[in-house]
Amino acid sequence: MSDAVLPSVLFVCVHNAGRSQMAAAFLTQLAGDRVQVRSAGSAPADSVNAAVVQALTEVGIDISAEVPKVLTAEAVQASDVVITMGCGDTCPVFPGKRYLDWQLTDPAGQGVDAVRPIRDEIEHRIRGLIEEIAPEPRS
């Protein structure tokens, strides 16, 4: 790997227990060490949504050890791209950052059947994001 600074992405959701955890897990899985990944919430839940854990396990991603984290201004400042997950969260705004809002259904209180389409939509968006910010090196 070159000395180039890796692009960094922060996923934000109120509870950091569903959408932002899925997005961070997919970006970590699919981009590997080409991207720095963070996720956080303004009012973190006690634990990650069990249906989200199950839905990701079905596609070979284990987030059972993840815990919701609190959103800090430092996390925003340390990130190049800040993606809110359609939860109306307010992030500290810093110049030079790129802010995106992905309108996604909230998996809170839903069973795994309802979480799967949200998971698949997040994976689709993450693949597009990787192409944009950290494409596979051409050999």
Q: Provide the CA 58 distance to its chain's centre, in angstroms.
A: 18
- Determine whether 13 is an active site residue: yes
- Determine whether 49 is an active site residue: no
User: Which is the catalytic residue, given 9, 10, 13, 27?
Assistant: 13
- Determine whether 63 is an active site residue: no
User: Which is the catalytic residue, given 71, 87, 104, 115?
Assistant: 87
Kind of pairing, strands 36-40 and 8-12? parallel
| Phi–psi pair at 81, nearest 5 degrees | -125, 130
Query: Could you tell me which residues come within 8 angstroms of residue 93 by beta carbon, excluding any fewer than 6 positions away?
Result: 99
Q: Which of 100, 74, 103 is nearest to 86 (CA)?
A: 103
User: Which is the catalytic residue, given 91, 126, 130, 134?
Assistant: 91
Query: Could you give the residue numbers annotated as active site?
Result: 13, 87, 91
